[in-house]
Amino acid sequence: DGGITQSPKYLFRKEGQNVTLSCEQNLNHDAMYWYRQDPGQGLRLIYYSQIVNDFQKGDIAEGYSVSREKKESFPLTVTSAQKNPTAFYLCASRPQGVGEQYFGPGTRLTVT
């Protein structure tokens, strides 16, 4: 059953702690993406990767870090430097860097 998974669905952390969000795909897609969505807003691009061992900053990369050691995995770390980390985080993938994106179910992060 092919798809893109994110875990956990809900995540709670204390301010000052780093937290890593998981994103895994078995679609054999080269490109993967992380977006942040705030209530009532659209998606803002955090980081993206078009190939293993390479990634680029999106529009709001400050306070976030990523790695792409395997084609299937693109974890996102929300660091303590991120001023307002509470948000809904969406991971997506697509075969190449253009066209339809396939989204995971999202992780809702709450930092208090």
Partner 1 sequence: SQQGEEDPQALSIQEGENATMNCSYKTSINNLQWYRQNSGRGLVHLILIRSNEREKHSGRLRVTLDTSKKSSSLLITASRAADTASYFCATDAGTNAGKSTFGDGTTLTVKP
Contact 66, 76 (CB under 8 A): yes
Of the candidate residues 50, 67, 77, 80, the single one contacting partner 1 (CB under 8 A): 50
- The reply to whether 23 sits near partner 1 by the rule CB under 8 A is no
Under rule CB under 8 A, residue 86 binds partner 1: no
CB 4 within 8 A of CB 90: no
Q: Which two tokens stand for residue 84?
A: 């307002």
Least distance (Å) from partner 1 to the CB of residue 88? 8
Task: Based on the shown chain and the rule CB under 8 A, indicate whether residue 21 belongs to the binding site for partner 1.
Answer: no
Please name the residues in contact with 66: beta carbons below 8 A apart, sequence gap of 6 or more. 34, 46, 47, 49, 55, 74, 75, 76, 77
Cβ at position 70, least distance to partner 1 in Å: 19
Question: Residue 89's CB: how many other CB atoms inside 10 A?
Answer: 22
Judged by CB under 8 A, the residue of 26, 28, 41, 53 near partner 1 is 41
Question: What is the DSSP-derived secondary structure letter of residue 9?
Answer: S
> Which of 35, 76, 85, 87: binder of partner 1 (CB under 8 A)?
35
Nearer CB in complex with partner 1: 20/41: 41
Which residue, among 75, 82, 19, 80, has the nearest Cα to 49 in the 3D structure?
Answer: 75
Q: Which stretch binds partner 1 (CB under 8 A): 20-28, 35-43, 70-78, 79-87?
A: 35-43
